[in-house]
Copies of this chain bind each other. A is one copy, B any other.
């Protein structure tokens, strides 16, 4: 599995949409929902949450809606996912503060914790602006290289 929720997907899509339309005074939840064929009410709640954590600014009333509260390159995918889905842990026995109850028996968690950090780091280095640039300026894509200790290239692709 290892998948993030639809809500997080929707959040990223909505933020991307807002970033793509900086000229607009404000875009309503309805506008974005229709653009992506997302249930309006569900997206509304997501945007409310993003407003609560300060990623977007909300504006009620006619011609109201949402505007990005930060620059698109200052909002990471990690922040968005964290805001919507909560803390992400690859293993189920992790909690914010401590470890699982069976510390000595669950000897797997330590190496997986580093995998967790790796994933987090990758997501932290992807920003809304990267999503917007997608398909336009492919030359500006971020280059990510993963190497093993011996120096052999394990992975090398754009993010």
Seen from chain A, the residues whose Cβ lies within 8 Å of a Cβ on chain B are 1-6, 9, 12-13, 16, 35-37, 77, 81, 85-86, 88-93, 102, 105-108, 110-112, 114-115, 117-119, 121-123, 125-126, 130-131, 134-135, 141-149, 154-155, 157-159
Contacts and interface: CB of A to CB of B under 8 A. Distances in A.
A5 B1 contact: yes
Contacts of A4: 1-2, 90-92
Contacts of A92: 3-6, 9
A102 B37 contact: yes
Contact of A1 (B77, B88, B126, B157): B88
Copies in the complex: 2
18 contacts: A1-B4, A1-B85, A2-B85, A2-B90, A107-B134, A108-B131, A110-B134, A110-B135, A111-B131, A117-B157, A118-B146, A121-B146, A125-B148, A125-B154, A142-B149, A143-B147, A143-B149, A144-B146
Contacts of A88: 1-3
